[in-house]
Amino acid sequence: MRNPLSKTITTIQPSGIRKFFDIVNEMEDAISLGVGEPDFDTPWRIRDEAIYSLEQGRTFYTSNSGLKELKDEICAYLDRKYDLHYNPSSEIMITVGGSEAIDIALRAMLDPGDEVLIPQPSYVSYEPCTILANGTPVIIDLKEENDFRLTAKEVEDAITDKTKILILPFPNNPTGAVLEQKDLEEIAKVVIEHDIFVMTDEIYSELTYLDKHVSIAAIPGMKERTVYINGFSKAFAMTGWRLGYACAPKEIISQMLKIHQFAIMCAPTTSQYAAVEAVRNCDEEVQKMREEYNERRRYLVHRFKKMGLKCFEPFGAFYIFPSIKEFGLTSDEFATKFLQSKKVAVVPGTAFGACGEGFIRISYAYSLENLKVALDRMEEFVEELRAEN
């Protein structure tokens, strides 16, 4: 029989830590710090809107690009929050999560051989999506000494004649790093000078704890060369609703829309009706969740300091990324040993790129009570390791 598979798909490596994940997910009594989604329920007023839309029988397809009402509301929200100005009838489309937007943006923009700059550690989908879109991933290793920020110099050094897109994954999963106005201005300068494009994944934009989030798309000269991606999963605790959006110049959106039209049709209708309520009326709920994350964040930073674990202070998302290099174990070994001896699950940094070696990702999408128990166990574990060495 002929090989049924494409050459491209078989070259993509499955995540090496999948096995570790499966062990954790099956372990009944493990405490986890490994979840990358909010612990809050979706605010009731959003769920209530979804139920109401079902009662009204609104169960049909929406237009391919999404409900008009939702596109209007998102554009008003982006204007109000981040000073971004998009035309709701031509520069935005609603997608099945931010992840669909990532995929179709790359597919709409890449030709074979085009290079995509991907800063790592970062979310796992950029690299495989680039390959599936016939692009060539070029990894930029973010540095611990820069608090895992991307610098303009690093971008400049990685650019070649073939570079087409720079992916900007900030606020960052897994490090919690953010980029500020000044960082973005410097990066924007390089991007414009070399005439490349930016795909900015700002899914954690509502979760920053130092200053208000700034988008690269708001910097003069950048809107026309940026695909802005955001969604409802993290800000509104709506992971299971699968709803995101992309904003970009009309020429890009109209091509992305073709892929979406043929592959997806439209984002889930019920989720779209619910999301109108989210962007329109949920500032206060979002603020409350952000404050609670921030309380936990401060607590974790304090605990790691007390443990003597090297860790920069993260100001975004809901992750902290301490270094475990002092123990002479790989991230994988550390996570496995920690799970076996203390029944606490954390994610090895290598899940987010090779340069995540020597780090672990800890999520604080857990109640403070849970975090306390887990951190007590971690403290014991760290002390035991130090005593062994």
Partner 1 sequence: MTMQEKILNYIEKNSRIDLHELAIILGEDETAVMNTLEEMEQKHIICGYHTLINWEKAGVEKVTAMIEVRVTPQRGMGFDKVAQHIYNYPEVQSVYLISGGFDFMVTLEGKTLREIANFVSDKLSTLDSVLSTKTNFILKKYKDHGTIMAEQPKDERMKMSL
Q: Which of 36, 39, 196 is nearest to 123 (CA)?
A: 36
Which three-class secondary structure state does DSSP give residue 185? helix
d(CA 74, CA 92): 9
Applying CB under 8 A, does 123 fall inside the site for partner 1? Answer: yes
Nearer to partner 1, 66 or 244 (CB): 244
Q: What is the CA radius of gyration of the chain?
A: 21
C-alpha to C-alpha distance for 217 and 228, rounded to whole angstroms: 7
Exactly one of 217, 345, 362, 382 binds partner 1 (CB under 8 A); that residue is 345
Q: CA torsion, points 343, 352, 236, 59, in degrees to nearest 10?
A: -100
- Residue 21 interacting with partner 1 (CB under 8 A): yes
Instruction: Check binding of 347 to partner 1 (CB under 8 A).
Output: yes
Token pair for residue 251? 């020429």
Give the shortest CB-82-to-partner 1 separation in angstroms: 23
134 φψ region: left (φ > 0), alpha (ψ -120 to 50), beta (else): left
Q: Closest CB to partner 1 among 197 and 338?
A: 338
Q: Is the dihedral of CA 103, 106, 110, 112 positive or negative?
A: negative
- Closer by beta carbon to partner 1, 182 or else 298: 298
Kindly give, in sequence order, each residue whose CB lies less than 8 Å from that of residue 70, ignoring residues fewer than 6 positions away. Answer: 94, 272, 273, 275, 276, 279
Q: How many residues bind partner 1 (CB under 8 A)?
A: 26
- The residues in 264-303 that bind partner 1, with binding defined as CB under 8 A, are 294-296, 298-299, 302
Asked if 368 is part of the footprint of partner 1 (rule: CB under 8 A), the reply reads: yes
124 vs 138 by CB, closer to partner 1: 124
Which is nearer to partner 1, 205 or 363 (by Cβ)? 363
> Per CB under 8 A, does 24 bind partner 1?
yes
Identify residue 346 by its one-letter amino acid code.
V
Which residue in the set 191, 351, 355, 378 belongs to the binding site for partner 1 (CB under 8 A)?
Answer: 351
Site stretch for partner 1 (CB under 8 A), options 30-38, 79-87, 143-151, 227-235: 30-38
Instruction: Examine residue 37 and tell whether it contacts partner 1 (CB under 8 A).
Output: yes
- Residue 25 or 160 having the CB closest to partner 1: 25
Which residue, 82 or 352, has its beta carbon nearer to partner 1?
A: 352
- How crowded is residue 195: how many other Cβ atoms within 10 Å of its Cβ? 9
* 120: contact with partner 1 by CB under 8 A: no
**Contact flag: residue 27 with partner 1 (CB under 8 A):** yes
Cβ proximity to partner 1: between 21 and 77 the closer is: 21
50-77: burial string, b at 16+ Cβ within 10 Å, e else: beebeeeeeeeebebbbbeebbbbbbeb
CB of 349 to partner 1, least distance (A): 12
Dig out the tokens for 271 from the structure: 């989720």
Q: Residues 42, 173, 175, 226: which binds partner 1 (CB under 8 A)?
A: 173
State the DSSP H helix or E strand holding residue 285, giving kind and residue range, or none if neither: helix 283-307
Measured CA to CA, the distance from residue 259 to residue 105 in angstroms comes to 9
Closest CA to 245 of 200, 191, 286, 290: 200
Site for partner 1 contains 35 (CB under 8 A): yes
Query: Which stretches of the chain bind partner 1, using CB under 8 A?
Result: 20-21, 24-25, 27, 30, 32, 34-37, 39, 123-124, 173, 294-296, 298-299, 302, 345, 347, 351-352, 368
